Structure 1
Amino acid sequence: MGKKIYKLLSILLIIFITINQVSIVTTMAESSTETINSFLDIEINRNEVAPGEQFYLRVTGNPDQLDEMTIEKSDDLIEGEIKEVSNRERLYVYHSEHSGRYDLTARVAGLRSNTVSIVIKDLENRLSTFSNDMNISETTETYKFKTEEKMNIYNSDIGISATHPSLMSRNTQTLTGYVQGGAGDILEVNGELVVRVPRASIGSIASISVTAADNSPLMPLAFYQEGIDVVFPFTFDYEGLEEAAHFYTFSIMFEVATFHSHGVEPDNPYNVSLSYAGRTVDTEFSILPITLSKPIFSKLYYGSRENDGQGSFGNLQIDGQEVTNNNKFILTINYDGSQKDGVVVTDVLPKGTTLAPNPSTWNATGGTNTISGGVRIAEVINPGEAGNSFNYVTEEFVNKVSFNRDTNTLVVDFGNLSEDQAYIIEYALEVTDVDLFNEGRQEDGFSRNQASMTYNNQIINQTYRLRIPESNLPAISLRKSVDKNVINLNENELIYTLHVSKFSGTINQLVIEDELEEGMYFVEFLSDIPSYIDTDVNNKNIRFSANKEITGPLNFTLSFKVNVENYIVGDQITNFATLVSEEGRLNTSIVNTKKIDGRIKVIKTDDSSRRLEGARFAILNSEGEVIQTGTTGKNGTFLSEPLPIGKYQIHEIKAPEGYQVDTSSRDVFINENSIEKTTLTIENILVTGGVILTKIDSESGEVLKGAVFELQDQAGETLQTELITGSDGKIKLEGLAPGEYQLVETQSPTGYEKDSTPIKFTIEREKKTAVELKKENQLIPGVVVLTKVDAQNEKPLQGAVFELQDQAGETLQTELITGSDGKIKLERLGPGEYQLVETQAPVGYELDKTPRLFEIDKEKVTSVTLTKKNSKLVNSELNEDSMNKNLPKTGEVFVRQVLFIALGSLLVLISLRYIKKNTKFFG
């Protein structure tokens, strides 16, 4: 019994232990799953950067966690682009203008990641630390900063870094390098300092800019391509080197090459090397491809950006530079490649901003001039595809772009677009009034840049959020503007305005100096100058100074007028001012005004380039209003008054005497590039005349076709040939200039005599009716020849008498007798049908009254030939055969008669003799 209980307890114990182990495994599995799902890790690609230099934070974790995650960091760290590498990995870009050590930690729903640190240190401190420690971290594959260990034989040092270890295609990369040493370290025998950059990493060669510090003995030479690299050589002003070691820095800026997703991949990373005195250091950077798309309309911001739960927003910079690289927008139009009618883009800028006059250029060919105060437009080839390209066509839109400064509204009218027309609009913002900008912020703390595109009675809206971070506000700013970016030939005055903004704090001393350029002189101060600012003019130096402390926030303007009549057309009038305060010197951006010639010159000529007096023209503006009229003088020209920038049309409203009015219009564009008057040559067409010649029969008046003429001038010079009368007997000539002419017959109509006598006529000025002429032709008379022949032997028969009758049998001529040749010839017969009727046969022949019909055809010039046969008379007892045998031949009658008489006489004599003999015998 005890054994049975023991066995039972043992079995229960085994079951308990098994269940317990299964529970432990299940718990561990659940714990493991929870740990995997809650994984969150961050790493940083740099341990140390310079102020303004970017660094990357890589975050890996669960996709849901990444969507809800926030980064704990100092406000001094400005967040830029966020790139989603995969659904479990994101890349954040940061930079800061402030030195110090900063920690970053990712947090989501109570879960914290590890903490990483970044040290931001100015370049000199970094280089000093580098020289002492020779230890710079290389923690990622996308960025390196290397330098070789210093060789004992040299005291000089070199280094180079890329501002952007990774950047998007088309963005600007800056390579910053240095050499450290003194006159005893940097020697001519060491040769040139050389930087090599892969050509495949550089976009446009034209975008390259190489600079060294002002007054530095380090001097850049001309760069060139060698193999697969672009080589940037530097030399030194060896006499300018100081004995003590100094840092000599340089920068190389360029737009990186363009790569597109699903296209050619960038060959990342691109290695950049710096070599000097037998040593080489290098750095590298990577280029991210652009994701291609084909939207109907989009608004893209190229500037400092951050992301929040609502998406991307822009941090406006208070730039003040001559070329604005920040705060830039690109609007894309018709990338989807469909036909659109009535395309108009409207963009409303935030309050407190305006168009920057000279935004940095996109990667486009063509002229880079701006219109409407800072707008460029480029045509896009193959939009949204790899291998697309851009070409500036801004000048074509001079009359289609407007910017209303009162409403801060930019309007671009594209009209109707075909499937193969796509464009971008390019501009940048300039902050003019921070307080006004902030007043326009909505509840979420952002102002809006609102754009829309209307087409086919539809509308697409695009809005982008903007703010000005406190960290971007200087203590004081100074901006300069001019009332006209373009002045015309007849304009001689400009108004300059200085915009002063004290954002915070108090300044005890404030002075603004404005040095006028040679060629301009001061006219007067305007009334906007506040009482706490004193003014002074000393020659060309204009000076404003505060007579009390200036405490922010405070905004005020200072305006003055200058005369610029000494400038000529094509000159660029420039000016800037300098603010001098306890905080240092601050230059404004340079403002430019270009002097143009806005006149239009019209030259009026005929088709032989002879200038014509008396043509009157009207000039219409873009609204169709007549703003000027004028008439060409003896030299055939009309010169307008100077016209403002815009589109105009030239209409001829009266032609010179004897010429037709040209009803077509000519478009003329006056723009920033009109540095000489716009000249048009307009040809006038004479009011020409015409002539109509009718060819007729001189007797009947019937029209005659087929007559050939040539047109000659008054001197007999041939102008036109082969002019042939048609079925209506007419020749019609048009477009004859006023003058004397003649028509000469070169070939008559068939059946008519040619008359080469010139037919003279005159084309009179401004007479629009044709001259009508008639030319008669004499008919060539018809001829008929009738031959009368013997029916048997066809011998001609003389003495046959005929009469000529018309077709109706009416007698026209009588007693027409065949001659010895058997012929009758009749001449000067008019066209028609006739008949010859025999009225008396030749002797010995039968009369044949059968009419012999014939026709005289005027289309034929040959004679009509007829033959009429007659038969001889026949005796009643003789048949035809005996007659043929016994009848004498022609010419034998007389001989036979002589013989008959002789024979008869002989018989009479014989008879008489016989009678005589018998009388004697009987008698």
Structure 2
Amino acid sequence: MGKNKKYIVCLMIAMLCLPLFGIFASAQSGVAKAGGTTIQTSLAVMTGTISSREEVDLRVNISGSAGDFLTDHGDITVTIPKEIVYNPNDFTAKTVIPQPFKLEKVTNDGLNYYLTFSINRTAIGDNDAFNGIFEIKFGAPLMTVGDAYHSTQTFMVDYAGQNKSVTVDVQKQNVAIAPLFDKWYKGDFDKDGVATLNTVDSESNSFQLIVNYRRIDLQNVVITDTLPKGTSLIASPTKSSISGDTMTKDGIRILKVMAFDTAGTATKYRYVTADFQDKIHVDKETNRFTVELGDLTVDDTYFVEYALQVDDVNTGLQYNVAQLSANKRADVVKSVPVKPITHFGTSYILNKSVDKSALNYDDNDLLYTLKLASLDGDAIPAGTTITDPLDERIKSPVLLPFDTSKVSIQLVGNEVQITTLVDIPKTDKMEWSFRVNVEALKIGDLLSNQAFLTVENNVIHSNAVSTRKYDGRISIQKVDNHGEPVAGAVYEVRNDRDELVFEGTTDEAGFLVTKALALGDYTVAEIEAPVGYVLDSTPHPVVVSDQDVTPIVLGTENKLQTGAVTLTKIDAQNSENKLAGASFNLVDGDGRIVMQDLVTDDNGELTVDGLDPGIYAFVETVAPQGYMLDSDAVPFEIKFGENDGVVEVVKKNSHIFTQEPADPVVPEPEIPIKPEIPVNPGLPVEPESPGDFPKAPIEKPISKPEIVVPIEKPVISEKPSLESTVKPEPTSTSKVKPEKLVKTGDQSEELFIFLGCMLLLFGTVLFWYRTNMKS
């Protein structure tokens, strides 16, 4: 038995703890969801490899689902090997970063450059799936076969606890043969060998025309250079290590090589533009210039240098063509393909919305909307795919009109698939909507749905939109103060702006159900009571929420209009003689005592008010002194409806008549006689004079007969009741002394208890006897 008790206690404890386990599990689930993230970070070198003096294009991609960026995950750090960067100024001059990214700082530790980027999380909405791309551009140094540069380079990106890296090969160039004439670009080239013109830092678009690097004799040398359209000449930066006059002529500067090393590489220069300023001619109409160098010897090697400013970024691919002409020499032409640098960077969001977060019980239509929008940078690329898998309870999707020239939308099974056919520029806000039927959604069910976007490095999900189906009706149940249904009560329902939204009347069963109401706060009030009832205009506040799965039940009560009665007690022989001190009980139509010990006042009246409609009667229980008790009931009726007047009834009482006493007998003096004790000590006895012998008074016996007033009780059909109501007690102007009345024919219960105990004892003995006999 002890073990069983332990098991029972353990079971009860486990049952009580179940709700706590559920709460704990929910909390853990919430923590996991909050702490989890779908953020992905990727890094790529768009050229695939790195070549000598090539422009390196490093692309960073950050993406995450809706809600991933509510938490601060810190800054983005990009690590770039220092030896592969020709000019660190390219990090700012060649890099255009789209919002919400921002380059905060560039640091180095001798081996690597560290670029730190921040994310403006306020630009990403709570319900937005986000994809952002930015590029870091810089030029690689001159790398030749056999030099000290590493053959591979590794780049890294760190964000949100993730570290991604990419390693690429380095392609070095062979040692160049000293040219007679060449055109060098001091900037960077893309992977196709096209010189990229910087649109931000024009001085970095520096060109050099190399003349007689081979060091031979030349006669009548003329240099011609035709510039790309949409560009103009500006001076290239000078170097403090070079001597001479740094003057320019129309943006052109000339240097002379003053020394070579043993390998034939120029090691020392001097600015000599002043010597040739009248030999430099610029034609702005044709965007061409010429330099007349004249006769050259083995000691004359020149560099003609200038920079190009990009005036039109939309010129596309062009050629910068230079030519050397000399007597008795074929013309030497050098061409460099050029184009303005392209900064690719984009950031865009996807979110989803639904027109109703709560769906009333009689509504089955929802409208979903998907929005794809650019935050900054380049266009959203063509081929971007959005998928919206629909819940199985969603039926019959109907697409609203959309631009078929920009997107393709298909319904595949229960999925909506959207694909962009063209690049979507920043100025375009793309939205697509479709209607669905959710008739299969039950009241109380929650319907959640989200779309996802497939990007280069991730699958990111939009926010989840949810709709809960609820019952927005209010069920009003009206009863009277006896719990009986009340028909005909008129109610109104008003919203929190005091606008009337519903009005109706209770039916025969006392019920009234409103129409389906929207979520919000309402006030229900009775504005008209049925005949015979007291209007209860008390406003009842009601809140309709999406958690309501059945009509909200509001129970109200109407009190019956009560009436009053006045009983006047008079002398039967003289109606002007009002009798005080008569005591009455008030009984209802079934003979039940409603009030007792109601006593007439000095005016012979007693008044009772607060009586519900019905038939009643006064029954006299104590007659006034000197009057006979009349136990005949005095019936009256409180009628249903208006009871402004007081019902008046009269009760008459007759005197008690007694015989005259006989003449007193004078006793003998010597034999005194004791006075007799009255037979009924309750009656007053006049004091006796000596020698008087009063006769016994004639007494009429008084009894309290049981009075039953025959009344037909109306039949009340059974109706659903709300909660028990307390019947108001009628009030009386007389003093009431409630007491328990002993019913006629009452018997003591002790006899029956004694008999029951004896029978129980007898049965026990008999059972014991039979059991022993069998054994």
**TM-score, normalization: structure 1?**
0.36
